[in-house]
Chain A
């Protein structure tokens, strides 16, 4: 081509700009679709929760003609939903406490001390988290009935621990391993036993790991369904997932109420995610990519 060099230069640059703009457009469209896919069901639920009952039977209209909080009101008055939220919260918090209390010293020992049979123990503990819950729910049921723990928080806490304790140990071991060995040596030289080193030196240093493990455990316990379905009988210990799954409806499903309940349950988690997303990400990936 014998175009003058000036125009050649400009057309090359134009190609580059077009390619750049094209790429940006692709990314934006992709992100839009992704966000739509991820958020639409959630938003639809919120919209449904706000629709008066008359609007529910037909779609369109897509948006509520007159947004109302009736469904939310019904959820909390028709059923002791507040109590059920309380059950879920208590079980989740207590499970988190149990896991941290048992898991932290174990993770520290696995990471920094010499535990006899270490590799086998760690593999075994991690293997437990790969159990199908269904494989132990029957026996656990019999055990819990035998201990007369049926329909109590402790039944769920015990059962949830099966899967959250390995997870906690896995995450924390990774974090403890990242702490330099010399820190333990310095603590020993300064007069600490292993226990004192853990308390005075290591715990403050792995606080991000503790937070991550706590968050992951809390979310797991909060969302857990199979054990809750099996071990709870009354509102005394029923948790949110069971309530949502078994939402009472005689002839037709009270979709408005279900949507309202779902929204109430999802809201704190949503806030938690947006606020703490970096922690979750680092914790999950730290364990996974290294392990």
Chain B
């Protein structure tokens, strides 16, 4: 396993820049997820680490060795693709053996390692089948096997679960995590699914438009996002953002409603700019019987069984509130809502950067 470093790595295709001045440091044996929407550059980053693309600028290092000019084979990386890319004309055994054959390993060794990998991944009965005869989960295991059989220094996965249905995804997710605990290879995982990122990773690197916005453990990213963009990327339902103003002793919501600032947060009055953006997650809002921050009309109620999402609408803003399933409100009613001051986030209106600590 190796430590992977990207230093000032940039890549452009023609006129478009896919990634710009990336700096990333993946520790040995770490499970790092690159999280972002489509087009953010996460697959490109993965291809750059793998050696499938050459960077237009910058360097890539494995354990202090500059591998920027090396081919994927020379770097000894392994990749699992979104489509698995199993060789359709080869059997499972031949798929597993292929990378070893290309490395000119003796046939007897190849057979032994294929058997060993098949046992590890519990696909022994499938060895003589062709990929089209396998289920999605089985294909994934073969793809993992083909990647791991080379004992790579770095293990790269490109959205391997996105083609699965929900239940299978959860099961395979757990298998992946368990595999990583066993094998302990440096693993870089790419996904757009924030739940996967939260559950699987040691650290998450949030990407947007070719840049890494923040790289930190999941809980830090969730509780202390570096910017509004990062905050909006994690959390379901997404974080509520309000344009707010500081006014003498209170915070002004859009539409004029003033919410007095408690003593614990007196620093807000002095340190925040006049206008800023307030972020509050649905689980940190609550519907109160009376006298919360303000009143709003209940627009919409979603009962999810384990919880209820209530969409509140006031004249100048809307909020999504997460409450327990037992809390019953009807659309059309007016309700008081309140927030938890200790979990509020403040962002700069212009740059979106998080303010205060």
A182, A185, A190 interface centre (most CB from chain B within 10 Å)? A190
- A182 touches which of B85, B98, B99, B150 (Cβ 8 Å): B85
Taking a contact as CB atoms closer than 8 A, the residue among A186, A200, A201, A205 that contacts B81 in the complex is A186
CB distance from B134 to the nearest CB of A (A): 16
Among the listed A183, A190, A205, which residue makes an inter-chain contact with B99, where contact means beta carbons less than 8 Å apart? A190
Q: Which of B71, B78, B82, B87 contacts A201 (CB 8 A)?
A: B87
Per a CB cutoff under 8 Å, which of B71, B82, B86, B88 touches A188?
Answer: B71
B72 sits at the interface (CB 8 A): yes
**Chain B residue at minimum C-beta to C-beta distance from A193:** B71
Question: Given the complex, which residues of B lie within 8 Å of A185, measured CB to CB?
Answer: 47, 50, 52, 79, 81, 85
| Contact-residue size bin, chain A (C-beta under 8 Å from the other chain) | 10 to 19
| Option from B72, B85, B103 in Cβ contact (under 8 Å) with A180 | B85
Q: A180: nearest residue on chain B (CB-CB)?
A: B83
Contact A189 B50 (CB under 8 A): yes
CB–CB B82/A189 < 8 A: no
Q: Determine if A191 and B102 form an interchain contact, defined as CB atoms under 8 angstroms apart.
A: yes
Q: Which of B55-103 contact A (CB under 8 A)?
A: 71-73, 77-79, 81-83, 85-89, 98-99, 102-103
Q: Provide the residues of chain B in CB contact with A41, threshold 8 Å.
A: none
Residue contact A189 to B79, C-beta cutoff 8 Å: yes
Query: Known contacts A182-B82, A196-B102, A200-B98; is A189 also within 8 Å of B89 by CB?
Result: no
User: How many angstroms between the C-alpha atoms of A201 and B89 in the bound complex?
Assistant: 8
Contacting pair A190 B88 (CB below 8 A): no
Q: Shortest distance in angstroms between B104's beta carbon and chain A's nearest beta carbon?
A: 9
Chain A proximity of B150: nearest CB distance (Å) = 8
What's the dominant secondary structure at chain B's contact region? Answer: loop
Interface residue count on the B side (C-beta < 8 Å): 24
Q: What chain B residues lie within 8 Å of A190 (beta carbons)?
A: 73, 98-99, 102, 146, 150
Q: Does A192 sit at the interface, judged by CB under 8 A?
A: yes
Give chain A residues whose Cβ lies under 8 Å from the Cβ of B89. Answer: 204-205
The answer to whether A191 touches B87, judged by C-beta atoms less than 8 angstroms apart, is: no
A187 to chain B: which residues have CB within 8 Å? Answer: 87
Complex: A204 Cα to B89 Cα, angstroms: 7
| Max chain A C-beta neighbours (<10 A), residue from B50, B85, B103, B150 | B85
Cα-based distance from A192 to B146 in the complex (angstroms): 14
Is B52 touching A188 in the complex (CB atoms < 8 A)?
A: yes
The CA-CA distance from A187 to B52 in the complex, in Å, is 11
Shortest distance in angstroms between B107's beta carbon and chain A's nearest beta carbon? 16
Per the bound structure, the CA–CA distance linking A256 and B300 in Å amounts to 88
The answer to whether A182 and B73 touch across the interface, beta carbons within 8 angstroms, is no
Q: How far is the CA of A187 from the CA of B101 in the complex (A)?
A: 12
Alpha-carbon separation in the docked complex, A183 to B47 (Å)? 14
Mask: chain B, 92-125; 1 = CB below 8 Å from A; 0 = not: 0000001100110000000000000000000000
Could you tell me which residues of chain B, from 29 to 59, have a CB within 8 Å of some CB in chain A?
Answer: 47, 50-52
Whether B87 contacts A189 by the Cβ 8 Å rule is: no
Question: Smallest distance from the beta carbon of A181 to chain B beta carbons, Å?
Answer: 9
Query: Chain B's nearest CB lies how many Å from the CB of A269?
Result: 30
Contacts of B150 in A (CB 8 A): 190
> Are A188 and B73 in contact, with the CB atoms below 8 A?
yes
Closest to A196 in B: B102
| B-contacting residues, A190-225, CB 8 Å | 190-192, 196, 200-201, 204-205
Q: How close is B198's CB to chain A, nearest CB, in angstroms?
A: 27
Q: Which single member of B72, B77, B82, B87 contacts A183 (CB below 8 Å)?
A: B87
A201 → B minimal CB distance (Å): 6
Considering the complex of A and B, which 6 residue pairs feature the smallest CB-CB distances, nearest first?
Answer: A191-B102, A191-B73, A182-B85, A186-B85, A190-B99, A204-B89
Given A189-B72, A192-B102, 20 further pairs, Cβ under 8 A: A180-B83, A182-B83, A182-B85, A183-B87, A185-B50, A185-B85, A186-B85, A186-B86, A186-B87, A187-B87, A188-B52, A188-B71, A189-B73, A189-B78, A190-B98, A190-B99, A190-B150, A191-B72, A196-B102, A205-B88
8 contacts between A and B (CB under 8 A): A182-B82, A185-B81, A186-B87, A189-B73, A189-B77, A189-B79, A190-B102, A190-B146
